[in-house]
Structure formats: structure tokens, C-alpha cells
């Protein structure tokens, strides 16, 4: 049974390798779109520096407080940053032209430590000559450093409050000073703890290169998985249409007069579509990465698990659609509408985060939104396998449902 | 010796319970080594019958035994015994003839050297060994039909069903197909052949079943069937397509003494008269035609044949 199913699968793959226009639509077009979009949003290969170069950043620190010093230290220890301390004027001058080679300048105002510690709004000036990937990275590094700082501070606050409630400061001559000292001490300890044993999440975020701080995918982060999802559906539905064509030309009936079960035939065809879809996605991912420097996140394992789950979902959709329509022509017209709807509502064309709430919910009635959620977790948010387990579960549920409908409703004659 | 194909009271209703009965109470047997033809017009139920004999369609009623195995209960054994050549060309057009045969051979469970041997054997039968590595889509209609047949022969079946294998091809290819079927038959392979060409049934078959509107209206050897008609000749007039008043002509012919049946096939510009007294009424036929304004281009007199049998049994021409 397996041998025959495999033979059917390979025969299908053989026929698609001979179908030039199909290959062109399924592989070349999405890559072409990746290239065009990459050019349009400036994510091209030559703009990306080699990972070992350091980016220069100047900091004008006008604050003498310990938090400001800590912030500077964080930035100094950030990989890829080469930090230089200057005064405000020099900092502004450094980013006034591209010639200085300085990517960004940060100005820490004198009241930073005080305001930051007491939870007041404080403005840090970050400036760069042009908006670029590097400057974005610098900006994020500052954000990350601030995040760490405030985590430490919160921990210290809680600790100081607890000490206060216990009445530790009341006995002192100068309770306010004592509290302040205790607090500073707690901050110090929290910061040290942070340095020696920072939370994993922050580390992952730092490693993610094009990560955007709000978790909303941008640029190629958005379009690459979007194109992948859309064209994978096109591919598998093309497979469903070939199944209907086989019924029309009679090869399906011919298979049925041969000594094997109907289930073997269908399994073989679906296996062919599935393998083909995996190959298609593999090509899109690798070509995207090597030709256009598309970033596919930090977790190859997550991708290696998520892609097969998604491809299976796309395969199940193909048999369901093939079962629900009568003719190949119907499938062709339906497939365009279906894939467009899946792509648009599922967040393959634009981030689902930017559409109204009701549309997001509508999108999540479709597998494409869950697929995009998973890819965004892996790619944009730099997360690993555990982060997409829920999406995997939902996609599998869709897959089982689609397969049940498809296999139950498919007509062999 | 038990028959290779045994069909009893076979019936098929599409879209039961309200659908049409495409096959009604059909019974026949095919002996081993026999060529049996199902002769009938379009929509007679030939393909439906073959589909049921191939385990493709579940019969609504009746039983089918192939080489002693029930089609419904032992489809696996049946499928090993039968070779099916479908009416449509069921091949992968972008694959070569060789690749198609390799694929279908594997689907029959063949492999290795045996499969290679069978492929060269059927390519020889199809007379296409020299085109084995060309894609099927580059073949002529006749060549496609021959590969279509070759696939059905791959696993060396005991009985082969041919469903109208000569439709829409050139006379040369048709000749080759008919010859190769006879050739196969001399090697002991039984054949079930469906057609709406009387000449093919006549040339090939040991036995013929005439099927119309799902009913098998007569079965027998060619001699047995023509005896049904008695000594009735067919007089066929080829007429001018511009004939002014065909209906008047037909009514005029019908009232002549000793005329049994009059039919016309306007597409072929033919008027066919069935009579048991050709010589006596021929002058009358000709004069009536001329008088009613239908010029005759040619005229043929045919001794009783399958066409007259069909006409006799149904009152209609086989091709209408
Ligand atoms: N799948 C189907 N559903 C409903 N009716 C059908 C189906 N297939 C065939 N029929 C009907 O059954 C009757 C017999 O059809 P069948 O195809 O068996 O005829 P045939 O003798 O093979 O004709 P042809 O010479 O045109 O191939 C026809 O009236 C046809 O319309
Ligand atoms: Mg037919």
C-alpha cells in the first residue's frame, strides 16, 4: 500500500516538475515579490553589514545618578555596539552627517535618574542621521536597556516597600534617608542579579535582529511569511485541481480498476501534494534567506516543526475544496477567492494587528491567521517552539476537520 | 469449462431512487477465448455495464462473476484478472509512453525485470516501441488510443474490456487496433468489446449482444442474429441533401407493399428501406422517390446484417 501510494505521490511530483508555468507561479512569482518588496522597503542584501562589524554610538550623559551610569554600562555591554561618551554638542554633531560613521546619538538628561526612579515621564533623546536597520537596532538596544533598568527598579521598589511596612525605617533617625539608602542598595543588588542571570526572554529579544518592539511585523518580516502562506495555499489547491482533472480525464477511474484501495489512491495524491508543498516552502525559505537576506527568526527547530504542520493544513484544505466543487473550472475560480480571503483576513498581506478587532476575530476563524500568528511569533518576536504550540494545536484541529470533510465528500466518479 | 464472464440480471439505476435505469436486467456469458461485443447506440448503457464489470460502479441489482469471482465480494481477485481499456484516454499527457507504462505497471503491483519485459511486450503490441520515450501529449489520437490499450494489457489479464476503442481515430489506427485485438485473442485472451459500429462487431465477434436503452435485446452469433430478421434486405438510398420534401418521400415509401420499415438519417443523407422482396419493389421505390422530389445519388442493397437486426428489433437505425 505504501509503495503504491509513494509511486502515486512521486508521479504527481514528476508531473508538476514538467509543468513550467505552475512552477513559475508557485516559486518564481513569490520570490520575485519578495525581491520587489525587499527593494521597496530597503531590506536589500548590500545594506546589511557583516555580523562582526560594530556600530558606533555616542552618548552624552548629563546625569550623575547611578541609574544613568547603569544605562550606559548596559549599552556598553550590548553586542555590536561601540559606545563612546561625549558631550551634548559632540553628540549632536556626530549624527549631523553620515561621514562621522556614527549610527546614533543618545542624550541622557540630567534629571534622568531621579525621574526614572520615581516613575515620572522622562525623555531620552535618540537621534540618528538616517533611519536604517542599524539605527533601528540601536534604538531597540536603548529600549531594552531601559526595560532592564525598570525591571530592576520595580524589584527594588517592592523590596523597599516591604521593608517600610515592616517598620525597618521607622527606628532610624532619618527614616527617609534610610529608606533611600535601602532602596539604592536594593536597586544595586537587583541590577547585579540581572547582569549575572538575566531573564531569558530579554536575551532572545536582543538576539533578534529586525525585531520590532511592539511585536507587530514590519517589512520583509511581514511579507515573507505572508507570501509563503499565500503561495502554499495556491500550491496545494493546484494539487486539488489536479485531482479533479484526473477524474475528468479518467486516470482516477483507471487507478480504481487496479488492485488497490481507494484510500491508497487518495493518500498517494495527498502525499504528493504535501511533499510538493514542503519542497516549495523549503525553496522559498532558503532562497529568501540566501538571496534576499530574509530573516526567518532564531529558532530553526520551531520552523522545522511549524512548517510541516502548516503544509499539512494547506494540504487538507486542498482536498476539502476539491470535494466541495464539481469541476476543475469551479475550483479555479473558487481557489482565487479562497486564497485571497485567507491571505487578506489571515494577515498575510498586512499585519493582522492593524485591522479592527472584529476583522481579527474573523481572520482567526481561518487557518491562515493562525499560521501567520505562528510565523510572526517565530520570525518577528524571535520566539521558539513553545511559543507556537497553541497555534500548532489550532492548525491541527483545522487540518483534521478539513480532512474529514474532504475525504468524506470527495467523489471518485 | 466455466465462462470467464457471467452476468445475471444486472441492473443499474443512477441517482437512486428517482434516477434513470441505465441498465435493465442484462444477462450474458462470455466463454473463455471468446470475443463478445456489446453493440448499441450512444447512451445504450455500454459504459455503465463495463464499469460494473470493472468494479468501478456498484450494481443496483444482479450478479457478476469474473473467472468465478464475484465483482462485489472479491474485487481484488477480479481486478487481477481483468484488463480495462476505458473509453477516454486515461493517461498522463506530460509523461512519456514508457513512464506511463512504468507507473501503471507499478499500480498493478508489477516491478523489476518482469515489469520491464511486460512494458516492451505491450509496446510491441501497440506498435509504438520507437515512440516509447516521447511524451504522450505529442502523440496522434490513434497512438494515444494504442497506449491506452497497452496499459490495460500490462498485467497479462485473462479478459480485456475495450470500451469503444476506435472512436474518433483514423482508419489506419482503427485497422491496427482491430488486428491487435484479434491477435490477442489468438493467444487465448477473452475480450469484451463495446461499439456502435456494426462493422466492427461483425468483423471481431464470436458472439454479439445488442443493447438499447439499457436492455440487452438480443444475444447470439452473427448468424443467429441475422436469422431473426429473416430474408429481409436493406435498400439504402444516398440522397441529395437539398431534397425538398423528405417527409413526403418517407410517407410515400412506407405505403408501398412489402416495405417493412423506412428510416432516414438526414446527417448522412441516407434513406433506408427494409423489405423482403427487393427485386419486385425496387422500381416502385425509385419512381416514388423521384415523384416526391428526392433525387437519388446512389443506391445500395444489403443482405441482412446487424444493422437490419437492430432496425428490425428497435424500429430505429443504429446510428441516429
Ligand atoms: N454518472 C451518471 N449519472 C447519471 N446518469 C448517467 C451517468 N452515466 C451515464 N448515465 C446515463 O446512463 C445512460 C447510459 O450511459 P452509458 O454511458 O452507459 O452509455 P454508452 O452506451 O456507453 O454510451 P456512449 O456510446 O455514448 O459511450 C445514459 O442515458 C446516460 O445519460
Ligand atoms: Mg460509453
Would you call A254 and B82 a contact, using CB atoms and an 8 Å cutoff? Answer: no
Question: Ligand 2 centre from B41 Cα, in Å?
Answer: 9
Ligand 1 neighbours by CB, cut-off 6 Å: B 14-15, 19-20, 22, 40, 42-48, 87, 164, 196
* Contact between chains at A253 and B56 (C-beta distance less than 8 A): yes
Shared-domain flag, residues B221 and B262: no
A81 and A131 together in one domain: yes
Contact A259 B106 (CB under 8 A): no
Residues B202 and A162: their CA atoms lie apart, in Å, by 108
**Three cell numbers written together for A81:** 555596539
Chain B residues within 8 A of A253 when measuring between CB atoms: 51, 56, 86, 90
Distance B224 CA to ligand 2 centre (A): 26
Same domain, B241 and B219: no
**Residue B249 banded pLDDT, cuts 50, 70, 90:** confident
pLDDT of residue A44: 38
Least confident stretch, A51-55, A197-201, B131-135, B184-188: A197-201
Q: How many domains does chain A have?
A: 2
Q: Which of A156, A172, A196 is the last residue of a domain?
A: A196
At B312 the pLDDT is 80
The reply to whether A231 falls in a domain is yes
Q: For the domain that residue B22 is a member of, what is the CATH number?
A: 3.40.50.300
Give the residue on B whose Cα is nearest the Cα of A412: B56
A202 falls within a domain: no
Asked if A393 and A258 sit in the same domain, the reply is: yes
Domain that holds residue B135: 5-225
* pLDDT at residue B99 in the model: 97
Q: What is the pLDDT of residues A62-118, one digit of tens each?
A: 888 888 888 888 888 887 788 888 888 888 888 777 777 788 888 888 888 888 777
A413 touches chain B (CB under 8 A): yes
pLDDT band at B261 (very low <50, low <70, confident <90, very high): confident
Looking at the CA of B26, which ligand is closest?
A: 1
- Do residue B280 and residue B266 come from a single domain? yes
Strand order from edge to edge, sheet including A55-61? A81-85, A55-61, A102-108, A125-128
Q: What is the CA radius of gyration of chain B?
A: 22
The C-alpha angle B190, B192, B193, rounded to 5 degrees, equals 130
Any CB–CB contact under 8 A between B167 and chain A?
no
Block residue for cell numbers 428490425: B312
More confident residue, A60 or A158: A60
DSSP letter for each residue of B90-130: -S-TTSBHHHHHHHHHHHTT--HHHHHHHHHHHHHHHT-GG
Same domain, A12 and A155: no
- Indicate whether A96 belongs to any domain: yes
- Residue A324 sits in the same domain as residue A260: yes
pLDDT at A182 over 90: no
Expressed in angstroms and rounded, the spacing between residue B18 Cα and the centre of ligand 2 is 22
How many Å apart are CA A150 and CA A156, to the nearest integer? Answer: 10
Q: Whose CA is nearest to atom 14 of ligand 1?
A: B45
Which ligand has the shortest distance to the CA of B211? 1
pLDDT at A392 over 60: yes
> In chain B, pLDDT over 90 holds for what percent of residues?
63
* pLDDT value at residue B116: 97
Is A161 in the same domain as A97?
A: yes
pLDDT score at A210: 40
Does one domain contain both B11 and B84? yes
Tell me, what's the pLDDT at B234? 85
Contact indicator for B154, B177 with CB cutoff of 8 Å: no
Residue B315 lies in a domain: no
Average pLDDT over residues A362-388: 91
The predicted structure's pLDDT at residue B319? 66
Is there a single domain that holds both residue A188 and residue A251?
Answer: no
pLDDT of residue A204: 25
Model pLDDT, residue B205: 95
| Residues B262-281: tens digit of each pLDDT | 888 877 788 889 888 888 88
The cell for B127 is 506498435
Based on the number of CB atoms within 10 Å of its own CB, is B26 exposed (0-12), middle (13-18) or buried (19 or more)? buried
Pick from B55, B56, B92: which is nearest to A11 by CB? Answer: B92
- How long is chain B? 320
CA A86 to chain centre: 36
Q: Grade residue B117 by pLDDT with cuts at 50, 70 and 90.
A: very high
Q: Which residue has the higher pLDDT, A250 or A54?
A: A250
| Partners of A106 in beta bridges | A59, A126
Nearby residues of A303 by Cβ (< 8 Å), 6 or more positions away? A285, A296, A297, A378
Lowest mean pLDDT among A106-110, A123-127, B34-38: A123-127
* Cβ atoms of B129 and B120 closer than 8 Å: yes
Is B122 in the same domain as B164?
Answer: yes
| Residue B246, pLDDT score | 82
Q: Please check the confidence at residue A160 and state whether its pLDDT lies above 80.
A: no
Query: Do B157 and B271 lie in a common domain?
Result: no
The CATH number of whichever domain residue A71 belongs to comes to 3.40.1710
Asked if residue A249 and residue A304 are part of one domain, the reply reads yes
Is A277 found in the same domain as A148? no
pLDDT of residue B75: 94
**Chain segment B282-308, per-residue pLDDT in tens:** 999 999 888 888 888 899 888 888 888
Q: What's residue B109's pLDDT?
A: 94
- pLDDT at B6 exceeding the cut of 50: yes
Examine residue B314 and state whether it is found in any structural domain, yes or no: no
B155, B284: one domain = no
pLDDT score recorded for residue A143: 79
Tell me which chain B residues have a C-beta less than 8 angstroms from the C-beta of A251: 90-92
Q: Is B107 on the interface with A (CB under 8 A)?
A: yes
Q: Is residue A259 part of a domain?
A: yes
Q: What is the pLDDT of residue A198?
A: 39
Option in A3, A250, A258 nearest B86 (CB): A250
pLDDT, residue B121, reads: 95
Q: What's the average model confidence in pLDDT over B127-131? A: 95
Query: What's the full length of chain A, in residues?
Result: 413
pLDDT tens string A132-142:
667 777 777 88
Nearest CA in chain B to A252: B90
In a domain, A206, yes or no: no
- Whether the pLDDT of residue B119 is over 90: the answer is yes
Better pLDDT: A251 or A101 = A251
> Is B250 domain-assigned?
yes
Based on the domain organization, do A264 and A134 belong to the same domain?
no
Tell me which residues have their CB within 5 A of the ion that is ligand 2.
Answer: B 46-47, 87
User: What nine digits make up the cell of B126?
Assistant: 501497440
Q: State whether residue B76 sits within 8 Å of chain A by CB.
A: yes
Question: Which of A35-44, A293-302, B4-13, B289-298 shows the lowest mean pLDDT across its residues?
Answer: A35-44
pLDDT at B39 > cutoff 80? yes
Instruction: Tell me the C-alpha distance between A217 and B263, whole Å.
Output: 78
- Same domain for A126 and A192: yes
Residue B308 lies inside a defined structural domain of this protein: no
Lookup: cell for A397 = 484541529
pLDDT at A57 over 60: yes
Instruction: Kindly state whether residues B299 and B211 are assigned to the same domain.
Output: no
The verdict on residue B235 lying in a domain is yes
Q: What is the pLDDT of residue A201?
A: 28
Q: Quick one: pLDDT at residue A96?
A: 78
Angle of CA points A2, A19, A38, to nearest 5°: 105
Residue A231 is part of which domain span? 2-47+212-409
Instruction: Look at A5-9, A263-267, B250-254 and tell me which has the smallest mean pLDDT.
Output: B250-254
Query: Residue A209: what pLDDT?
Result: 35
Would you state the cell numbers that stand for residue A111, as one nine-digit string? 534629571
Q: Considering only A80-94, A193-207, A250-264, B103-117, which range has the smallest mean pLDDT?
A: A193-207
Q: What rounded mean pLDDT belongs to chain B?
A: 91
Model confidence band, residue A43 (pLDDT cutoffs 50, 70, 90): very low
Is residue B277 domain-resident? yes
pLDDT of amino acid A165: 58
pLDDT at A403 over 60: yes
**What is the band of B318 on the pLDDT scale with cuts at 50, 70, 90?**
confident
| pLDDT of amino acid A121 | 74
pLDDT, mean of residues B114-140? 96
Final residue before a domain boundary, out of A196, A227, A254: A196
Band the pLDDT of A189: cuts 50, 70, 90: low
Q: Residue A275 domain-assigned?
A: yes
Q: What pLDDT does A197 receive?
A: 44
Quick one: average pLDDT of A260-266?
A: 94
Q: Which site among A2, A4, A251, A264 would you substitute to test the B interface, given the most B Cβ atoms closer than 10 Å to its Cβ?
A: A251
Atom of ligand 1 nearest to the CA of B196: 25
**Residues B189 and B69 placed together within one structural domain of the fold:** yes
The answer to whether residue B317 is domain-embedded is no
Residue A263 has pLDDT above 90, yes or no: yes
- Checking if the pLDDT of B25 tops 50, the result is yes
Q: Are residues B214 and B238 in the same domain?
A: no
Considering the domain architecture, whether residues B34 and B166 belong to the same structural domain is answered as yes
Determine the angle formed by the axes of helices A133-165 and A66-77, rounding to 10 degrees.
140
ipTM of the complex in this document: 0.83
The CATH number that applies at residue B272 is: 3.30.70.100
Cell of B271: 434513406
Same domain for A64 and A31: no
Q: Tell me, yes or no, whether B313 lies in a domain.
A: no
Q: Which residue has the higher pLDDT, A43 or A36?
A: A36
CB contact (8 A) between residue B86 and residue A4: no
Q: Tell me the pLDDT of chain A averaged across its residues.
A: 82
Please tell me whether residues B51 and B14 are part of one structural domain: yes
Q: What is the 3-class SS of B165-190, one letter each residue?
A: CCCCCCHHHHHHHHHHHHHHHHCCCE
Give A206-224 pLDDT, tens digit per residue: 223 344 556 666 677 778 8
Q: Which atom of ligand 1 is nearest to the CA of A413?
A: 1
Number of domains in chain B: 2
Percent of chain A with pLDDT over 70: 81
* Conformational region of residue A411, where left means phi above 0, alpha means psi within -120 to 50, and beta covers everything else: beta
pLDDT band at A167 (very low <50, low <70, confident <90, very high): low
- Are residues B107 and A19, on separate chains, in Cβ contact within 8 Å? no
Q: Evaluate if residue A358 carries a pLDDT over 70.
A: yes
**A184 and A79 share one domain:** yes
Average confidence (pLDDT) over B79-103: 96
Amino acid at each position: 500500500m505504501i509503495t503504491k501510494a509513494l509511486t502515486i505521490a512521486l508521479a504527481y511530483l514528476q508531473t508538476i516538475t514538467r509543468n513550467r508555468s505552475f512552477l513559475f507561479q508557485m516559486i518564481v512569482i513569490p520570490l520575485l515579490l519578495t525581491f520587489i518588496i525587499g527593494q521597496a522597503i530597503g531590506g536589500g542584501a548590500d545594506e546589511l553589514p557583516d555580523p562582526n562589524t560594530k556600530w558606533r554610538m555616542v552618548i552624552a550623559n548629563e546625569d550623575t545618578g547611578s541609574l544613568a551610569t547603569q544605562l550606559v554600562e548596559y549599552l556598553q555591554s550590548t553586542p555590536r555596539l561601540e559606545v563612546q561618551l561625549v558631550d551634548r554638542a559632540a553628540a549632536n554633531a556626530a549624527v549631523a552627517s553620515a561621514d562621522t560613521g556614527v549610527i546614533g546619538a543618545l542624550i541622557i538628561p540630567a534629571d534622568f535618574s531621579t525621574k526614572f526612579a520615581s516613575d515620572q515621564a522622562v525623555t531620552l533623546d535618540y537621534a540618528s542621521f538616517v533611519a536604517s536597520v542599524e539605527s533601528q537596532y540601536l534604538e531597540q538596544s536603548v529600549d531594552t536597556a531601559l526595560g532592564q533598568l525598570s525591571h530592576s527598579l520595580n524589584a527594588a521598589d517592592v523590596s523597599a516597600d516591604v521593608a517600610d511596612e515592616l517598620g525597618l525605617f521607622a527606628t532610624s533617625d532619618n527614616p527617609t534617608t534610610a529608606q533611600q539608602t535601602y532602596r539604592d542598595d536594593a536597586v544595586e543588588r537587583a541590577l547585579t542579579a540581572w547582569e549575572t542571570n538575566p531573564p531569558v526572554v530579554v536575551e532572545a529579544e536582543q538576539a533578534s535582529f529586525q525585531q520590532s518592539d511592539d511585536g507587530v511585523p514590519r517589512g520583509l518580516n511581514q511579507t515573507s511569511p505572508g507570501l509563503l502562506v499565500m503561495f502554499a495555499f495556491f500550491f496545494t489547491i493546484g494539487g486539488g485541481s489536479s485531482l479533479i482533472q484526473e477524474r475528468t480525464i479518467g486516470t482516477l477511474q483507471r487507478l480504481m480498476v487496479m488492485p488497490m484501495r481507494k484510500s491508497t489512491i487518495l493518500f498517494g495524491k495527498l502525499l504528493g501534494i504535501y511533499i510538493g508543498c514542503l519542497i516549495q516552502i523549503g525553496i522559498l525559505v532558503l532562497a529568501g534567506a540566501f538571496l534576499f537576506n530574509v530573516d526567518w527568526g532564531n529558532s530553526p527547530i520551531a520552523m522545522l516543526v511549524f512548517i510541516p504542520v502548516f503544509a499539512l493544513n494547506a494540504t487538507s484544505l486542498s482536498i476539502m475544496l476539491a470535494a466541495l466543487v464539481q469541476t476543475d473550472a469551479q475550483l479555479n475560480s473558487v481557489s482565487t477567492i479562497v486564497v485571497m480571503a485567507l491571505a487578506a483576513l489571515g494577515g498575510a498581506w498586512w499585519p493582522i494587528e492593524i485591522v479592527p478587532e472584529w476583522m481579527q476575530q474573523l481572520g482567526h476563524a481561518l487557518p491562515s491567521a493562525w499560521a501567520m500568528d505562528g510565523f510572526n511569533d517565530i520570525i518577528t518576536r524571535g520566539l521558539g517552539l513553545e511559543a507556537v504550540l497553541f497555534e500548532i494545536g489550532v492548525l491541527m484541529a483545522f487540518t483534521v476537520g478539513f480532512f474529514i470533510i474532504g475525504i468524506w465528500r470527495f467523489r471518485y466518479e | 469449462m466455466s465462462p470467464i464472464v457471467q452476468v445475471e440480471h444486472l441492473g443499474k439505476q443512477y441517482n437512486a431512487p428517482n434516477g434513470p435505469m441505465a441498465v435493465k436486467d442484462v444477462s450474458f456469458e462470455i466463454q473463455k477465448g471468446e470475443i463478445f461485443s456489446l453493440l448499441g447506440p450512444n447512451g445504450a448503457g455500454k459504459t455503465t455495464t463495463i464499469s460494473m464489470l470493472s468494479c468501478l460502479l456498484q450494481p443496483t441489482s444482479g450478479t457478476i462473476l469474473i473467472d468465478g469471482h464475484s465483482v462485489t465480494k472479491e474485487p481484488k481477485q477480479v481486478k487481477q484478472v481483468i484488463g480495462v481499456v476505458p473509453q477516454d484516454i486515461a493517461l498522463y499527457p506530460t509523461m512519456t509512453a514508457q513512464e506511463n507504462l512504468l507507473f501503471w505497471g507499478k499500480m498493478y503491483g508489477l516491478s523489476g525485470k518482469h515489469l520491464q519485459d511486460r512494458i516492451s511486450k505491450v509496446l510491441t503490441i501497440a506498435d509504438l516501441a520507437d515512440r516509447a520515450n516521447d511524451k504522450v501529449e505529442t502523440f496522434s489520437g490513434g497512438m494515444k488510443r494504442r497506449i491506452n490499450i497497452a496499459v490495460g494489457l500490462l498485467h497479462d489479464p485473462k479478459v480485456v474490456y475495450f470500451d469503444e476503442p476506435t472512436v474518433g481515430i483514423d482508419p489506419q489506427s482503427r485497422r491496427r487496433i482491430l488486428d491487435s485485438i484479434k491477435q490477442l485473442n489468438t493467444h487465448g485472451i477473452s475480450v469484451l468489446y463495446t461499439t456502435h459500429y456494426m462493422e466492427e462487431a461483425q468483423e471481431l465477434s464470436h458472439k454479439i449482444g445488442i443493447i438499447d436503452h439499457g436492455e440487452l435485446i438480443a444475444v447470439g452469433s452473427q448468424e443467429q442474429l441475422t436469422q431473426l430478421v429473416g430474408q429481409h434486405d436493406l435498400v439504402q438510398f444516398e440522397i441529395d441533401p437539398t431534397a425538398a420534401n423528405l417527409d413526403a418521400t418517407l410517407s410515400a415509401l412506407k405505403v408501398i407493399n412489402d416495405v417493412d420499415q423506412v428510416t432516414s438519417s438526414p446527417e448522412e443523407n441516407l434513406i433506408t428501406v427494409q423489405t423482403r422482396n427487393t427485386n419486385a419493389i425496387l422500381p416502385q421505390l425509385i419512381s416514388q422517390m423521384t415523384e416526391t422530389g428526392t433525387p437519388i445519388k446512389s443506391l445500395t442493397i444489403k443482405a441482412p446484417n446487424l444493422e437490419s437486426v437492430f432496425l428490425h428489433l428497435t424500429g430505429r437505425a443504429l446510428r441516429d
